[in-house]
Amino acid sequence: MEMANWTSGILTNRGRDLQLKVEAGEKLKMTRFKLGDGMETTAEAADLNDLIGAKIAFGITGIERLGTLCKFTGVVTNTAVSAGFRAREWGLFAEDPDLGEILYMIALDDRPDYIAAQDAVLNSTITYALNVDISQASKIEPIIDPQGLVTTEILEKAAGLVRRNMEYFLNDKVFDIQLSAHPSWRLVCTKAGTTSGVLLNLHGAKLGDTYADGTAEWTVKDAYEATVDAHNKAPDAHADIRRILDDKAPIASPALTGTPTVPMATKGTSTDQIASTAFVAQAVADAVLAIGGHETPTITALINWELMATENNGVDARNLQNSESGVIACGGDNASKSGYGKGCILLKQVYTDFDRILVLGCDDACSFCTRRVFDKWELDLMFANSLTFNIINDNGIVWRIFGGKKGTYAGELSSGKVWRTHSQGCGIIEIYGIKY
């Protein structure tokens, strides 16, 4: 995961003018912070008097003076964020005696953190600190906003903790520290009302258990399952999918059972024609024959689908499927609980155990298949000398992974068993290790 990479603070032109006034005797009154998602450059920053894409303002909660260096801090919670955004710009504002409030200093981030919306499963509280080198630190007079200070109540609200004597509504989701052994479990309000003043006893709680709390009622549910279930039941859910289905022509046999069949495509076909499993099997056999002459190699399926399902909260990562041919593939949309990154391919063993590697892919509709074969030495060369490279590149479909040449890149790279996805526009059916 990439971390924030803020530039050093850049004084705006108005900030420089104010600095001259301070050196002449004026007090420097710092007023507040702002975060935004604007994409200005450092060259543009000096001319600004506000952030390009300001999203949230928050008060100064403290100041620490160390010689000429002053450290300003502020605390922001996402409880006031209506829509999530990437925090690319960060401004410190001050009071000019002639102009009023101005943008004093700005910092930019080319690897921005994501500030989640207030309705996120897990709320967040972030502390921001900005160091400013000011020759006359004694003249700084920060305006401390009491509402910007983090109280116990703010922390409880930001963390989503269930609060006493509080009104809750149907489907509200809260957390109780008694459920900390199960990080994804939440109390879901199944009867609106006001909680009592007495703490709940959740000792021995299980999924599905229901608890009366004042006039409210809670049911223990998995947060991810509850979120997905609520989304699927929403009348406006999956609008794009419904629109696409509405645009499709009627299917002759919509309720397929047993083992559906399709005409066998001619060998070498590379079109939108549906590919049967027999065609895929023949393509694999032809690929093996092409790379190994007439020797009979040992072929090993390498992708650890079970582990990838575990990392994807128990859901199979193969989310692409053609209902007529039966071909299934991973479209790179799988998430991870362990920081592997979206679309990360986990292998059962290192590719270096084999003579060649066969990557079998398809388009997103699983309507045609393609392959690419690597000699071990070829992969060794790509991993050693590339930040990224393609393992599939055919007829407009691409799957690119990170190599092993880091350079100035700060993120995680691939290894022999963990192929980290950089970008993709197709599906991965399987990766095979071939040993002669």
Final residue belonging to a domain, choices 153, 184, 211:
153
pTM of the predicted structure, to 2 decimals? 0.36
Report d(CA 124, CA 15) in Å as an integer.
Answer: 31
Final residue belonging to a domain, choices 170, 197, 228:
228
pLDDT score of 160: 57
Q: Are residues 141 and 166 in the same domain?
A: no
Q: Does residue 24 belong to any structural domain of this protein?
A: yes
Report d(CA 432, CA 288) in Å as an integer.
Answer: 10
Q: Are residues 192 and 327 in the same domain?
A: no
Asked whether the beta carbons of 398 and 316 are under 8 A apart, the reply is no
Is the sign of the CA dihedral 338, 233, 231, 256 positive or negative? positive
Question: Residue with structure tokens 């690597």?
Answer: 374
Q: Are residues 119 and 185 in the same domain?
A: no
pLDDT score of 3: 45
Q: Does residue 209 belong to any structural domain of this protein?
A: yes
Q: Does residue 245 belong to any structural domain of this protein?
A: no
Q: Are residues 147 and 165 in the same domain?
A: no
pLDDT score of 373: 95
Question: How does pLDDT run along the chain (436 residues), one tens digit per residue?
Answer: 344 567 778 899 999 999 888 888 888 888 899 999 999 988 899 999 999 999 988 888 777 777 677 788 888 877 778 888 999 999 999 999 999 999 999 999 888 888 888 766 556 667 777 777 766 555 676 666 555 444 445 445 544 578 888 889 998 888 887 887 887 888 999 999 999 988 888 888 999 999 999 999 999 998 776 566 666 766 777 777 767 777 776 666 666 777 878 888 887 787 888 888 888 877 777 776 666 555 678 999 999 999 999 999 899 999 999 988 889 999 998 888 887 888 899 999 999 999 999 999 999 999 889 999 999 999 999 999 999 999 999 988 999 999 988 778 888 899 989 999 999 999 999 999 999 8
Q: Does residue 94 belong to any structural domain of this protein?
A: yes
Q: Are residues 88 and 45 in the same domain?
A: yes
Final residue belonging to a domain, choices 126, 153, 180:
153
Q: What would the pLDDT profile of 9-37 be if each residue is shown by its tens digit?
A: 889 999 999 988 888 888 888 889 999 99
Q: Does residue 239 belong to any structural domain of this protein?
A: no
Q: Are residues 340 and 195 in the same domain?
A: no
**Domain count for the chain:** 3
Q: Are residues 20 and 129 in the same domain?
A: yes
Per the structure, the complete domain to which residue 213 belongs is given by 161-228
Q: Does residue 97 belong to any structural domain of this protein?
A: yes
Q: Are residues 134 and 184 in the same domain?
A: no
Q: Does residue 91 belong to any structural domain of this protein?
A: yes
pLDDT score of 122: 56
Q: Are residues 379 and 420 in the same domain?
A: yes
pLDDT score of 120: 61
Q: Are residues 86 and 203 in the same domain?
A: no
Q: Does residue 376 belong to any structural domain of this protein?
A: yes
pLDDT score of 391: 94
pLDDT score of 89: 93
Q: Are residues 306 and 423 in the same domain?
A: yes
Q: What would the pLDDT profile of 270-322 be if each residue is shown by its tens digit?
A: 788 888 888 887 777 777 666 655 567 899 999 999 999 999 989 999 999 99
Q: Are residues 322 and 397 in the same domain?
A: yes
